[in-house]
Amino acid sequence: MNKVVALLAVALLFASCSPRLKPNQVLFKTNKGDILIELYDETPKHRDNFKKLASEGFYDQLLFHRVIKEFMIQGGDPESKGAEAGKQLGNGGPGYTIDAEIDFPKLFHKKGALAAARMGDNVNPEKKSSGSQFYIVQGKTFTDEEFVKVENRLKSMQRQGIFYQTLEGYKDTLMSLRQAGDQQAVMDMQMKINELVEEKVAAAPDVTIPENIKEVYRTIGGVPHLDGNYTVFGEVIEGLDIVDSIAAVECDNNDRPIEDVVIEKVFTGK
pTM of the model: 0.88
Rounded distance between C-alpha atoms, residue 116 and residue 113, angstroms: 10
Residue 250: how many CB atoms within 10 A of its CB? 9
Q: Are 262 and 77 in contact (CB under 8 A)?
A: no
Q: Are 35 and 28 in contact (CB under 8 A)?
A: yes
pLDDT tens track for 19-41: 789 999 999 999 999 999 999 99
Rounded distance between C-alpha atoms, residue 165 and residue 200, angstroms: 11
Section 124-153 average pLDDT? 97
Q: Which one-letter amino acid corresponds to residue 57?
A: G
Angle (nearest 5°) at CA 71 between 236 and 117: 70
The pLDDT of residue 198 is above 80: yes
CA atoms within 13 A on the CB side of 227: 27
Section 180-194 average pLDDT? 93
The pLDDT of residue 7 is above 60: no
Question: What's the mean per-residue pLDDT of the chain?
Answer: 93
pLDDT tens track for 68-122: 999 999 999 999 999 999 899 999 999 999 999 999 999 999 999 999 999 999 9
- Write down the pLDDT at residue 19: 78
Rounded distance between C-alpha atoms, residue 84 and residue 61, angstroms: 13
- Write down the pLDDT at residue 1: 47
- In order of their start, the domains of the chain are 22-141+220-270 (2.40.100.10), 143-209 (no CATH)
- Write down the pLDDT at residue 14: 43
Residues above pLDDT 90, as percent of the chain: 90
